Amino acid sequence: MMTESILKMFKVEKPIIGMIHLKPLPGSPNSSGLENVLNYAIKDAETLVDGGIDGLLVENFMDSPFYPSRVPLHIITSMSIIVWEIRKRFSIPVGVNVLRNDAIAAIAIASMTGANFVRVNVHIGCVVTDQGIIQGKAFETIRYREFLKSDVKIFADVAVKHGKQLYDVSIRQLARDTYYRGRADALIITGRETGAEVDINDLRSVREAVPEAPIIIGSGLNPYNVNTLLKYADAAIVGTYLKKEGVVWNQVDLERVKTLMAAVKRFR
């Protein structure tokens, strides 16, 4: 079961967090400027909320190719403005993910804007990715949050998509290390890539290995696998299915949001 603090955050069982995939921010290839990015993000947020979503996660998804760790200041500034504007307009929990792995920036943005949680793709360990080798810095992230006296929650990926661990360890052990040694507040389990369905065996393994940890599906949830996957997970982050025609680059589709949330409500 999810911890009391996270249950209090979302106010529902099995919360569904909708992705706000930001258009390219200023300084990134093909950026149309901050105002256009902001307007697009607010439109997606409105559609998600109108469809009954339980939470929002803001991510600089279209900033590829991604910086592997620290992002420049203009990215942090742009995302802070966008998250602030979304937080002002909507009363549901909001999270931040700064790709590919700037946990410090995410903690800072979330803490200063009043957001509720961050996603960290590589919290512990060492992962080879299309950005190169990324090293988790839980020691730094946890202490920075303490320095800010922040209550922002850390949702950390276990065996993150688009990556491979550089040391031989089972997903069970990786989950235990992320939760107990890395002190993550919740664990995210994904498929191999964006939109790919999570492996049910991975979900079962993590559930058995860390029964008290909040477990979040990080990719691949849809109305047809809700009953199967949410049996083992406490929440889900959904992006691809909620987009028009199920294409991740498109805007959010209201009917798809309603369809998914109807399936989740039946399961609850």
170-180: average pLDDT: 95
Query: What length is written for the chain?
Result: 268
Does a cis peptide bond (omega within 30 degrees of 0) precede residue 176?
no
Give the per-residue pLDDT at 90.
97
Q: Is 252 part of any domain?
A: yes
Does a cis peptide bond (omega within 30 degrees of 0) precede residue 65?
yes
Q: Is 204 part of any domain?
A: yes
Q: Is 224 helix (H, G, I), strand (E, B) or coil?
A: coil
Q: Residue 192 belongs to what domain range? A: 12-267
Q: Is 239 part of any domain?
A: yes
Q: Is 5 part of any domain?
A: no
Cβ contacts of residue 85 below 8 Å, gap of 6+?
38, 42
- Contact 4/44 with Cβ under 8 angstroms? no
pLDDT at 1 over 80: no
Q: Is 3 part of any domain?
A: no
Give the per-residue pLDDT at 194.
81
The neighbouring-strand residues paired with 165 are 127
149-172: average pLDDT: 90
Digit-coded pLDDT (tens) for 212-247: 999 999 999 999 999 999 999 999 999 999 999 999
- pLDDT > 90 in the chain, percent: 87
Give the per-residue pLDDT at 234.
94
How many domains is the chain partitioned into structurally? 1
CA–CA gap between residue 209 and residue 77 (Å, rounded):
39
Give the per-residue pLDDT at 77.
98
Give the per-residue pLDDT at 5.
60
131-135: average pLDDT: 92
72-86: average pLDDT: 98
Give the per-residue pLDDT at 160.
81
Give the per-residue pLDDT at 164.
86
The neighbouring-strand residues paired with 216 are 188, 235
- Contact 134/126 with Cβ under 8 angstroms? yes
Give the per-residue pLDDT at 4.
58
Q: Which CATH number goes with the domain that contains 225?
A: 3.20.20.390
pLDDT at 108 over 90: yes
Digit-coded pLDDT (tens) for 19-41: 999 999 999 999 999 999 999 99
Average pLDDT, the chain: 94
Give the per-residue pLDDT at 2.
55
Q: Is 7 part of any domain?
A: no
The pTM of the full predicted model, rounded to 2 decimals, is: 0.94
Q: Is 124 part of any domain?
A: yes
CA–CA gap between residue 25 and residue 29 (Å, rounded):
8
Give the per-residue pLDDT at 159.
87
Q: Is 162 part of any domain?
A: yes
The phi-psi region of residue 27 (left if phi > 0; otherwise alpha if psi is between -120 and 50; otherwise beta) is: left
